[in-house]
Amino acid sequence: MDLHEHQGKEIFRQFGIPVSDGLLATTPDGARAAAEEIGGTVVVKAQVLIGGRGKAGGIKLATSADEAAAHASEILGMDIRGHTVSKLWVERASDIAREYYLSLTFDRSAKQPLFMFTTQGGMDIEEVAATSPDALVKLHVDPLEGCHPWHARRLVYAGGVEDPGEQKQIAAIVAKLYDAFVGTDAMLCEINPLIVTLEGEVRALDSKFTVDDNALFRHPDIAEMRDVAGSDPLEVLAREKGVTYVKLDGEVGVLGNGAGLTMSTVDVVTFVGGRPANFCDLGGGGDAQGVVDALEVITRDPQVRSIFFNIFGGITRCDEVARGVLQAVEQMGLDQPIVVRLDGTNAEEGRRILGEATLRNLHTESTMLDGARRAVELAA
Amino acid sequence: MAILVDKDTRLVVQGLTGSEGRFHGLRNRSHGTNVVAGVTPGKGGQEVEGIPVFDTVADAVGEAGADTAMVFVPAPFAADAMYEAVDAELTAVICITEGVPAHEMLRIHSFIRGRGVRLIGPNCPGVLSPGKANVGIIPAEIFREGSVGLVSRSGTLTYQIGHELTQLGLGNSTIVGIGGDPIVGSSFLDILALFEADPQTEQVVMVGEIGGAEEERAAEFIEAEMTKPVVAYIAGFTAPPGKTMGHAGAIISGSAGTAQAKKDALEARGIRVGMTPTETAQLVAEIAGGR
């Protein structure tokens, strides 16, 4: 789960990482009040879960409360790469002397947490890695041993930070970032930029924070931070129903069981010339109600013109799926063509159930490839 | 031969008295797996259809001679169960449970280093050596015994490809689901090395997906270390960046982890990549036919 900048900063604050004072606003009046309360020059920042906010005009400096309100009315409702801005973070402006970069992430290959630090902050880290790899310091941490002061010293000295005051502050932030990373079950904690102010104070000016969905059961406070309003409404509905759903931009609704098979089905629909409307994984169980729930989510998308069910029964029983399909079509009065391909556990029984049904929009195919082709034809 | 599990495997099921553990433990036994024990704390002394249940894994090892564990306990307790199994000095621990926090897996991975135990999973369908032993939830009836090794990050996609192989008259030495999480106990590399050393295995199918860089690392390993042919399949060519596609590990982060990058890395080292499960099975059949 990705957190907004202000949510990540709240966690930083809890763990003792210095951040600027700020307030949340959802209206121009709210932004004005926030600017008044903070006083002086403020920055009005769009809170969206996507990069490139600054370039898109979603971050603006305001020298007065009126100006903050004016910026807020421009930014609220703005579309930033497909994300609509509904929240603003109004923050005390900082006088920046230097911009650094610090992050802690999962190195999936080494199977260890990985620190990355560079004094070339403020830009895309992949760009730094590509253009000046020597400026990027990388350091693994053994998760059983944890983070020690020497880790921080290595980062700071290898990164070329020369001012002793800065060295000390950054070292403290390194230790606290590790605590935050472990303490919140984070997959990524990124501070870009980590600024040094004109007064020599080191502070996190931005935050990119991702928490492991599998660990949310032990962080109820973070689980509550999920931004329902800023998410795709279909994905929210899917989460409520316990269906794994990702919205795509085509016409062929795709429903499979298991993440790998469903991804593969989306690919095959594309390869035979179609455009998938979604990725929808029924999961391991796949009882009749699960099918109904999934179909409800898929057909809520008005772009969907046909649906391809690709089921390979393992734990999932094909007869259950077949009953679910019939139940859903009747209950919901679906009129989109539905192509069903069943294989694996109880597939024959499933095919028999579908064969006996007399629904004009129900089609069956015996292979994944033929099913995909048929669904694409029917969406045309 | 085959790898990881076979007729000599002595299995203990952690969580045998739960509904899933019981269902699949008994299903594994009916496939011929020697299920020697179950473990549920507080239920030691009970039996599940003749299988003795112990309070601890250490007891299951000491009294029933277990050498391999299957972990079927709920996610919040799965890490503890894995530590316990590793500490009991089993040779293999296969964790089926989905939803284990990634930080737990980081720590477990550091813990097992140098202990000589093979950890498979979590969030995996298990390991099947057709005709010999089945440990996990893979439906054995789809597969037949043969010489093709199959290693995959996915469950049902593995069944799909196994089914296509069976249709073409090909069988498998062992099918290994390594799991769909960002941090898993064994990587493609580990399993490819086992297949390379296994006399029954003549060629290998590797089923990858978006996220991480394990397929790329596997490509280097295959070129440098393997004499047996490998055919690959990658799922997620049309997945959008930044979205988790069902498996926690299936996510394109920035420009890293795309299916195209994996395909390119594999093909650059002479490894053939099927674009659909059907094409993948056909490539395997071509190689089998040409031997």
Q: Is the pLDDT of residue A285 over 70?
A: no
Q: Is the pLDDT of residue A52 over 90?
A: no
pLDDT (0 to 100) of residue A4: 95
**Euclidean distance between CA atoms A212 and A208, whole angstroms:** 14
Chain A nearest-CA distance from B235, in A, is 5
With the CA atoms of A17, A22, A25 and A30 taken in that order, what torsion angle do they form, in degrees rounded to the nearest 10? 160
Reported as a single tens digit per residue, the pLDDT across A288-307 is 788 888 999 999 999 999 99
Let me know: does B230 contact B222? Beta carbons within 8 Å.
yes
Chain-centroid distance, C-alpha B1:
17
pLDDT (mean) for B138-144: 90
Q: Is the pLDDT of residue A357 over 90?
A: no
pLDDT over 90 for what percent of chain A?
Answer: 71
Let me know: does B39 contact B53? Beta carbons within 8 Å.
yes
Q: Is the pLDDT of residue A230 over 80?
A: no
**Euclidean distance between CA atoms B117 and B134, whole angstroms:** 19
**Euclidean distance between CA atoms B58 and A67, whole angstroms:** 69
pLDDT (0 to 100) of residue A109: 86
Question: DSSP string of A20-85?
Answer: --EEEESSHHHHHHHHHHH-SSEEEEE--SSS-TTTTT-EEEESSHHHHHHHHHHHTT-EETTEE-
Reported as a single tens digit per residue, the pLDDT across B188-240 is 999 999 999 999 999 999 999 999 999 999 999 999 999 999 999 999 999 98
pLDDT (mean) for A218-238: 86
Reported as a single tens digit per residue, the pLDDT across A100-124 is 999 999 898 889 999 999 999 887 8
Which of A113, A244, A261 has the CB atom closest to B160's CB atom?
A: A261
- Give this prediction's pTM: 0.92
- Active-site annotation holds for B24: no
pLDDT (0 to 100) of residue B291: 57
A223 contact partners, CB below 8 Å, separation of at least 6: A1, A216, A217
Are the Cβ atoms of B75 and A185 closer than 8 angstroms?
no
pLDDT (0 to 100) of residue B57: 98
CB pairs under 8 A between A and B: 173
Q: Is the pLDDT of residue A283 over 90?
A: no
pLDDT (0 to 100) of residue B146: 96
Per-residue confidence at A331, pLDDT binned at 50, 70, 90? confident
- What is the crossing angle of helices A149-159 and A164-183, to 10°? 130
Q: Is the pLDDT of residue B44 over 80?
A: yes
Let me know: does A86 contact A26? Beta carbons within 8 Å.
yes
Q: Is the pLDDT of residue A315 over 80?
A: no
pLDDT (0 to 100) of residue A57: 92
pLDDT (mean) for A180-205: 97
Which of A185, A256, A367 has the CB atom closest to B101's CB atom?
A: A185
In this structure, the number of other CB atoms found within 10 A of the CB of residue B123 comes to: 27
Which of B100, B109, B237 has the CB atom closest to A111's CB atom?
A: B109
pLDDT (0 to 100) of residue A187: 95
Which of A217, A267, A312 has the CB atom closest to B236's CB atom?
A: A267
Better pLDDT: A133 or A94: A94
A256-267 per-residue burial string, b: 16 or more CB within 10 A, e: under 16:
bbbbbbbbbbbb
Are the Cβ atoms of A261 and B250 closer than 8 angstroms?
no
Q: Is A70 on the interface with B (CB under 8 A)?
A: no
Residues of chain A with C-beta less than 8 angstroms from the C-beta of B105: 111
Chain-centroid distance, C-alpha A315:
29
B144-159 per-residue burial string, b: 16 or more CB within 10 A, e: under 16:
eebbbbbbbbbbbbbb
Residues of chain B with C-beta less than 8 angstroms from the C-beta of A111: 105-106, 109-110, 183
Reported as a single tens digit per residue, the pLDDT across A248-271 is 999 999 999 999 999 999 999 999
Of the listed ranges A82-91, A262-271, B84-93, B242-251, the least confidently predicted one is B242-251
The residue annotated as part of the active site, out of A5, A67, A91, A101, is: A101
pLDDT (0 to 100) of residue A333: 83
pLDDT (0 to 100) of residue A44: 97
Q: Is A371 on the interface with B (CB under 8 A)?
A: no
pLDDT (mean) for A31-41: 96
Average pLDDT, chain A: 92
Better pLDDT: A240 or B271: B271
Residues of chain B with C-beta less than 8 angstroms from the C-beta of A367: 278
Residues of chain B with C-beta less than 8 angstroms from the C-beta of A218: 76, 101
pLDDT (0 to 100) of residue B244: 87
pLDDT (mean) for B105-128: 94
pLDDT over 90 for what percent of chain B?
Answer: 88
3-state secondary structure A155-178: HHHHHCCCCHHHHHHHHHHHHHHH
Are the Cβ atoms of B160 and A312 closer than 8 angstroms?
yes
Q: Is B167 on the interface with A (CB under 8 A)?
A: no
Q: How many residues does chain A have?
A: 380
Stretch 36-55 of chain A: residues touching chain B, C-beta under 8 Å: 50
Are the Cβ atoms of B245 and A246 closer than 8 angstroms?
yes
Are the Cβ atoms of B245 and A279 closer than 8 angstroms?
yes
Q: Is the dihedral of CA B195, B196, B202, B204 positive or negative?
A: positive
pLDDT (mean) for A146-173: 96
Structure token digits, residue A70 = 């004016």
